[in-house]
Structures are given as C-alpha cells and as structure tokens.
Amino acid sequence: MNHSNQSVQAIQSKPSQNERSQKQSSATLFQAEAWKNAFIKLLPQHVIKNPVMAIVWLGTIITFVSTVLGKASLVFGLLVTFILFVTVLFANYAEAVAEAKGRGQASSLRQARQNLTARRIQNKDDADGVQIAASLLKMHDLIEVRAGELIPADGEIIYGFATINEAAVTGESAPVLREAGTDKSGVIGGTKVLTDRIVVQVMAEVGNSFLDRMIALVEGSNRQKTPNEIALGILLTVMTVTFIVVVVSLPFIGHLLNIEINPILLVALLVCLIPTTIGGLLPAIGIAGMNRALKANVIAKSGKAVEVAGDVDVLLLDKTGTITYGDRQATAFYPLAGVTESELRQAAVLTSLADPTPEGKSVVALAKELGERVVDPDQAEFIAFNASTRISGINLSDGHQIRKGALDAILKFASQTLENHSELKARVEQVASKGATPLVVAKDQNLLGVIELSDVIKQGIKEKFARLREMGIKTVMVTGDNPLTAAAIAAEAGVDDYIAEARPEDKLNCIREEQNKGHLVAMVGDGTNDAPALAQADIGLAMNSGTQAAKEAGNMVDLDSDPTKLLAVVEIGKQQLITRGALTTFSLANDVSKYFAILPALFVAAIPQMNVLNVMHLGSSESAILSALIFNAMIIPLLIPIALRGVKFKPSTSTQLLRRNMLIYGVGGVLLPFVAIKVIDLMISPLLSL
C-alpha cells in the first residue's frame, strides 16, 4: 500500500519537476531552434508557400545582383540587400517561433507512447492473456490493464473502474475516475492506471491514436489553413501582383520622362508597398491560434475549428455538468396520500438497483441512510435507465412492474393524466420551483410519490452568460427536466432560452433549426447519444472522458472534460479573428506612410515638384529608402509577441470592435511609421553623409 502511494506521489511530482527544467531552458532552446528553422525556410520549397515573402526574397537576390553589377553604390546596395534579407528572416522567425512551441509539446507526448506493451485477452474474465507490443493491437481487441500499468491504446472501459493519471496528456497530475457503462468510460493510450483493474476495448487503429493526432497537430504538419486565412492570403497575393505591375511599369514611365530609375529603388518601393508585415505574420497567427487552444487543454482537429468558434452565435449547453455541477443527489422522498414513506423508498430502491447513473446510486444511498433495508429480489428483470425513455425500473417475479423516471414518462407508463392527480401536480411543482428535479415513482398503474433530486448552479456561470450576451451570443440550455425546473434553473443561471424534457434527437433538431436561420451553433457532449448533434454542430466540443463515438463526432476535444470550456473556446476563436483583423489593418495602414517616404525619393531629383510629397522632410533619397526599409523590417519582430499572444479580447459588438480596431490599429498604423521613419532618418543621415 505504501509502495503504491509513493508511486502516485512520484508520478504527480514528475510533471512539476519537468516543467521547472523546461521553463529554465525553453527560452534558449526555442530561440535557437527557431533561428535555425528561419534559415531553413529560406530554401525555395519553403519560401514559395508564402507568396508575399517569396517576392521579398526574390527582391533581395535582385538587389544583390544589381549591386554586384554596379547599378548602385556598393555600400547602399549592400545595406538594402541586407535589410531585405533580414525582413525575410524575421518573417520566417515569426513562423518558426510558433512552430517551436508545438514541437516542445510534441516531444513530451512522444515520451508518453514509447515502448508500450499490452496484455491482450479473449474476454473480460480471462486472467492470463498474451503480452504483445502495443503496435500490434487492432480495433476491438480486448486488453487488461492493472494498477501501476500504462494504458497501451485508446479505447473504452467495458468492465471495471479505475483512477487514472492523465498528466502525460493533459498536464494535470490529479487522478481522474473512469468507469464502464457511463459517459466517462473513454481512456487514452499512454496514461497510467493507479488503482484497480479494467478491461478496455481498443477503439483506434495504429497510427491514428489520440496521441498521434495530437503530435501531428502541435507540430503543425496537419495544420489546415482556415477559410479566412485562405481568403486573406488570396487578397494579399492579388495586392502584391497589382503592386508588381505598378512598379514594373515605372521604368517605362520614367523612360518617357527621360528618367532612369535604379532597379534597387524599384525593389525597395515594391517591398514597402506590398503587405509584408501581415504577409510575414499570417502563418504565425494561424499556428498561435492552435497553440492557444492547446494551452487551454483543447485539441482542435483543424485551425478551421478554432476560427469558426469565433463566429459562433448560438451555444447549446447541457444543464448537468455545464450549468450545474452535475452531482444531482436524492435529497427527499415525498409519498402521495395512502402511501407510506417506507413503501415509496422500497419502490425507489428497487427501480434504482440497475440504474448506473449517479442519481440512481444516490436514491439507494439516501434510502439506506433513512433506515431502509435493501434486498436484491430473486428472478427479477431490471430495466436500465435510458436517455430516450427517461425511465428505469424492475419487473418482479410476481408480475408487478415498478418504474422511476420523469413525470411525463411515468404518466405514460401508468396510463394516467396529471389533471386527475392534483396532489402529484402540487408535489412536482413544489420540487421544481426550488430548481430541483422531481422523479416520479409508480407501481403498475399506481403513482406512489416523488423523489427530489437537488443540484447546484456553478459559481460565476451567470456572469459568463452575461459576457456571452455582450458578444451577441445566444445561450440555450438543454435538459431532461420538466419545464418548471428548467425555467427555474434557466432564470437563475441567466440563459437566453431552454429546452425542457429534451431527448437526444431534440438537440439535433434544435441545432438544425438554428442553422436554418443562418446561425453558427456550438455544443458540448460526451455520450454516444450526443454524437449526431456533435457532428451536426458547427463546433462540437467532445469531452476527453467521453465515449469514442463522441470524440470522433466532435471537431474539438477538451482534455479537462470540463463542459464550461466551450465558453473559453469561443473566446479563443474570437481572439484569433480579432488578432488577424487588427494586424492586417495595421499592416495596410503602414503602407500609406511608407508611400510618402519612398515615392518622393524616387523622382525628386528629376522632378523637383515631387518634393511636395516629402512631408517628413527626410534627409536624402538614400536615407528615405533605408529608413523605410529598416522600419519595414523591424516592425515584424516587434509584432511577433502580439501575433503569438493575440490581441486582448473584450466583449463588445461588431461595430464597437471595428471602431476600436480602426482607431488603434488603423490610425495608429498610419501615424507610427511617420514618427519611426523620421527618427531612423535622423539617426542614419549623418552616417550616410560620411
């Protein structure tokens, strides 16, 4: 016993020790790795992936060749070449830094799956099994895992329960409970069983496990460009091509005016006019969005999922576990007239013996506390709880049928109507008005009474819904409770709408209805019955603890299995969109200022009237060009922290957001270059005159 405790403590302390050492060396390691990859990305097969920076890299080569051929002074030509080279390098570095963070996470994930072995068995009672390499496992194989062993593959527990350490995947050292026959039956290969024995059915092919997909995602090898990113990339390419046409035409215009334009000056003009800043940062912004999701312990199957989350305007939320703590416990028995408390408790216990839900277990526990003896009946047929019927029960050997469940389901079973039972109606309304859930118990055609299930609304959830409302997002609570209970909880939690007495198909119908109205819908789920709705939703957030079907259907998986994470996912998505929009605005605004720096420098010697455009009163043509290029190069690394961290997000309407971005990044993007280029000019003008 002591040995196992020590093992658990050792496991729990490892991550923190590793984290400390990683933090001490990460800055140096990542920087070095990023600079190395920045140079590798200069190779043609890599640089061509970013058309804007490919043009800058081509311009660098042209300026170097032009300098060697004597088209400009050696010092000036080499300075321009060097600045352009640095511009490309900084853009590559921005992307490489974002990728380096992912590679660091991937290496720790690889360690989690190394040298795994499995004990394959024929059935859950097989005590021996065959020891094989985990790589030889196939879909639907049964494996036995005991305390102290690593789970060799993704799957679902079909027998037993155990506490599991998932620190290798989630970073959280606190053990979690996983149990067969519940919505918390999913396990991940590479995690460690701390207690008991479980039988797991393999649910993933070799090479397609959860860890494999995580590694591919964080390394960026599976990063798909989002629709917005693709659209912006096309826009930047079109702008670049347009400016190339404009710049290429200038020598012909100059020839007509008897002005010879230096090719180095043309390259400088082109580089300053094309959107180099956002072109250099765009890949980093996309990768950083994925990394922010991963930092929140959310695995997105693609960058598209993160971005779509930012556009979501309807959230479908389960009541249990999301809005409330989900730990509904039986707190009272209310027998109807002519029924003793003991009769009601006995009937409630019998219906709960085959009910694996926490609610069912709490009914048995409360009855025992109140002195009720629990005896398993002989030759009885148990009716397990079902989400569709919302009933559990038992068929006794003497022919009696006892059921427990939702009001409407029990009334249907007993062939009764609520109008004929004023006492039952009053009891149900009494329980529901408190925000508790009433369960009705019936024996054959007779209604026996009501069980009160109490749950507690999570702290701070009302404020979160208010925050979502500020963003223009509608929240819909889905619950199997009766309308009275649902209305009470919805009012207390502050949701916009609710669906009561909901069945699995009701979620699906609700999602379709909202989508038909033009809305983007997000929902969270963990059970197999949630899979159709998760697949239908624009954003389906599946719980890591949930079934394999749910995880496959969703386009995001929450490693912490926290249903409220959906709220954080929406904010991450919005931050991604805001960051890209803000930096694009800033980049395009910069071009206006750089235009006034470069253009007069090109023609002022031949056309003195062009000096009117020299509003910054820069020292010379060479100084103007170098100042603009230096600013153009330096702004990229200065913006890397913003691209990686994201622009700070505040709940607001689209109009407010646009106004704020235009003021800060639009107006600021125009004014900053004027100031910066002037300062740089004042610094380098004396050096150029030497």
Q: Is 440 left (phi over 0), alpha (psi -120 to 50) or beta?
A: beta
CA distance 83 to 96: 20
CA distance 558 to 492: 26
CA distance 65 to 482: 78
User: What residues contact 292, with CB distance under 8 A and at least 6 apart?
Assistant: 306, 572, 575, 576, 646
In whole angstroms, how far apart are CA 605 and each of 259, 272, 595, 609, 680? 9, 20, 17, 9, 22
- Residue 228 one-letter amino acid: N
CA distance 161 to 199: 9
- Phi, psi angle pair for 459, to nearest 5°: -65, 140
Q: What radius of gyration, in Å, describes the C-alpha atoms of the chain?
A: 33
Catalytic residue at 558? no
What's the CA angle centered on 254, arms 248 and 259, to 5 degrees?
A: 135
List 212, 313, 318, 526, catalytic entry: 318
Which of 508, 437, 526, 503 is CA-nearest to residue 156?
526
Distance spanning both ends of the chain, measured CA to CA = 81
Q: Is 156 helix (H, G, I), strand (E, B) or coil?
A: strand
CA distance 635 to 657: 24
User: What residues contact 27, with CB distance under 8 A and at least 6 apart?
Assistant: none
What DSSP designation does 32 have? H
Q: Is 160 helix (H, G, I), strand (E, B) or coil?
A: coil
Strand segments, DSSP code E, in 107-183 are 117-121, 130-133, 142-146, 155-159, 161-165, 176-179
Which residues are designated catalytic? 318
